[in-house]
Amino acid sequence: MVKFMRWDNLRLDDQLAADQETAGETLFPAERRDVALPLIERGAVARTFDTPGFRGMTFYEVQAKSVVNRVPEASRMPFRWTINPYRGCQHSCVYCYARKSHSYLELDTGADFDSKVVVKVNAPELTRKKMASASWQGEHIAMGTNVDCYQRAEGRYQLMPGIIGALKDAANPFSILTKGTLILRDIDLLAEAAEVTDVGLNVSVGFIDKELWRSVEPGTPAPARRLEACATLNERGLPCGVLMGPVVPFLSDSPAQLDAAVRQIAAAGATHVMPIVLHLRPGTREWYFRWLGANHPELVGRYLDLYGRSAYAPKSYQARIAGQVRELADKHGIGRPRSGFGHGRRLVPERPTAGAPAQAPGAPAQASRGPAAADPMPLSPASSEQLTLL
């Protein structure tokens, strides 16, 4: 029953489902109902496309009841609201922490997560409706904190222009974190939004090793292309930083590898860099160790030593990586003012401190601008898990 409740906001109503069947849409066959994918079959439209970029993919188009979602206080996230127009991700990152969420849909956290993507086709309309709600107070909204809103599916469904447009028209502050270069498609719209509200942009590049990239992030644009996107955004006057995540123990964490990555991040004009070390929560841990055993069996024992008792690497290891990246950021000039570049902004606004006055209903949202050189120290494990774009 709990599982069905999780899907209530992603179901088409019975009348719309009937209309789609009449129109000849491809729905799940009656004989599969309550047998295969029982949580998303009723009223969901399943589509496949025979184009190279989508071959082997299934998209479940659903009408969500809400898309601006509140983050539980217990999560200790530095933001209160998110928009995630997709569930599942074509990036196919073997370390993606969001894999666990697919188990709630009675899908597996491995191949299904990579190939079966839920699309909230009415996300732009729901965003605009939320912005017009009398109860909405114009708080910051973070996007790309679960799965990538600019994964390849966005090229077909084009949900982000409508979402950004709704936020722009409401002058509502927002941030985007992405591994996708498709964000450049919306650069004009982002520039328009930045004229009326605070817009925080970050790309995720944890390492620059091409062989490692092809192995652990097979569906993403190459790291160099992501950094080119970062440079383009900065050149347009849209400050963009880099979430250096994940730093992969024993595979991308040597001093030389860190230096090479930070040097290229600096060359892209990134306003700041924030490293986050790989973490392996249930649902991801099993998938990652399967990949590790097949590709780097000599490292399995070392990983068991590092992650044997926790989903997170020891604090001493995280602190060492953070310190190295901070020194390298200083060395390569990340965060220093550059001609033609704006000041950096934080990835997301911080929560108000205890006792701080609450914003009055209807008052304009305050911009959350960070310093030119943002502190690259990683967030606490409880915070970092939803900021590592995976």
* 168 neighbors 193 (Cβ within 8 angstroms): yes
The CA distance from 223 to 201, in Å, is: 16
Helix axes 255-267, 223-235, angle to 10 degrees: 30
* 4 neighbors 60 (Cβ within 8 angstroms): no
pLDDT of residue 95: 84
Return the top range by mean pLDDT from 70-79, 87-96, 114-123, 295-304.
295-304
For residue 144, pLDDT beyond 50: yes
Residue-wise pLDDT for 273-288, tens only, equals 999 999 998 888 998 9
Sign for the CA dihedral angle at 76, 199, 143, 338 comes to negative
For residue 203, pLDDT beyond 80: yes
3-state secondary structure of 291: helix
pLDDT of residue 160: 98
pLDDT of residue 217: 95
Beta carbons within 8 Å of 357's beta carbon, 6+ residues apart:
none
pLDDT-derived band at 42, boundaries 50, 70, 90: low
For residue 81, pLDDT beyond 70: yes
pLDDT of residue 50: 65
For residue 73, pLDDT beyond 80: no
Return the top range by mean pLDDT from 6-20, 59-73, 99-113, 227-241.
227-241
pLDDT of residue 108: 64
pTM to 2 decimals? Answer: 0.77
Specify the range with the lowest mean pLDDT, choosing from 6-10, 20-24, 52-56, 109-113: 20-24
Specify the range with the lowest mean pLDDT, choosing from 93-102, 140-149, 293-302: 93-102
Specify the range with the lowest mean pLDDT, choosing from 16-30, 93-107, 168-182, 260-274: 16-30
Nearest to 177 by CA among 220, 146, 219, 223: 146
Q: Which fold has domain 199-278+313-349+370-379?
A: Transcription Regulator spoIIAA (3.30.750)
Q: What is the mean pLDDT of residues 180-190?
A: 97
HSE (side-chain half, CA atoms, 13 Å) at 325: 35
* 260 neighbors 306 (Cβ within 8 angstroms): no
* 206 neighbors 274 (Cβ within 8 angstroms): no
Percent of the chain with pLDDT over 90: 56
pLDDT of residue 104: 67
Name residue 142's beta-bridge partners: 82, 175
pLDDT of residue 353: 33
pLDDT of residue 342: 34
For residue 384, pLDDT beyond 60: no
User: How wide is the angle at C-alpha 390 spanned by C-alphas 350 and 252, nearest 5°?
Assistant: 100
Q: What is the mean pLDDT of residues 22-39?
A: 34
Using DSSP bridges, classify how beta strands 240-247 and 141-143 pair: parallel, antiparallel or unpaired: unpaired
Nearest-10 Cα torsion for 289, 294, 296, 298: 90
The CA distance from 152 to 133, in Å, is: 31
For residue 105, give the DSSP letter: T
Specify the range with the lowest mean pLDDT, choosing from 2-11, 39-48, 120-129, 157-166: 2-11
For residue 211, pLDDT beyond 60: yes
Residue spans per domain, the chain: 1-197, 199-278+313-349+370-379
